[in-house]
Structure 1
Amino acid sequence: MTDADAPIETPCIRTCRVDPDSRLCIGCLRSMDEIGRWGSMSPAERRRIIADLPARRGRISPDAEAGLPRRKRG
């Protein structure tokens, strides 16, 4: 198995709430479709989504993000 074929863990942080404006989970920043299909996605698809997640943070409404636990850095 090459690194490109290696499984990619889920970005889920068990804070499952959907922002009604962006339709993204405020915890992992994935869409409901991405969450539902995660188990059947190829490693390449998962890597593409993982790479896109930081850019999605700005799409979450401040009201939805209130109360979201802070992610650990490092």
Structure 2
Amino acid sequence: MTKHPCVNRCTPSSKACKGCLRTATEIRDWDTYTVEEKLKILEDLEVRKRRYVPDPTACSEVE
């Protein structure tokens, strides 16, 4: 069984859900994907998180 990426904070935007970062197509078709396809999407979500979620340390003061 593959982990489901939904975080129960559905906030659709024009490109992806702001909660799980999946596209509308990925959300709609999730149950039809193979395990391999789901794993690939989960890998892609990690990249999206790094790209779209700001690094909390970026705002810290440098000594």
TM-score by length of structure 2 reads: 0.72
**Aligned residue pair count:** 53
Counterpart mapping for 1:26-41 below 5 A: 26-41=18-33
Q: 1:48 — aligned with what?
A: 40
Residue 9 of structure 2: which of 10, 15, 32 is its match?
A: 15
Let me know the Cα RMSD of the aligned residues.
1.8
Measured against aligned partners, the alpha-carbon deviations of 1:28-70 in whole angstroms (never above 9, x if no partner) come to: 110000000000100000000000102213247x8xxxxxxxx
Identity of aligned residues (%): 32
Gaps of 5+ in 2: 55-63
Gaps of 5+ in 1: 1-6, 63-74
Select the structure of larger CA radius of gyration: 2
In the TM superposition, structure 1's runs of 4+ consecutive aligned residues that sit over 3 Å from their partners are: none
Greater helix share, 1 or 2? Answer: 2
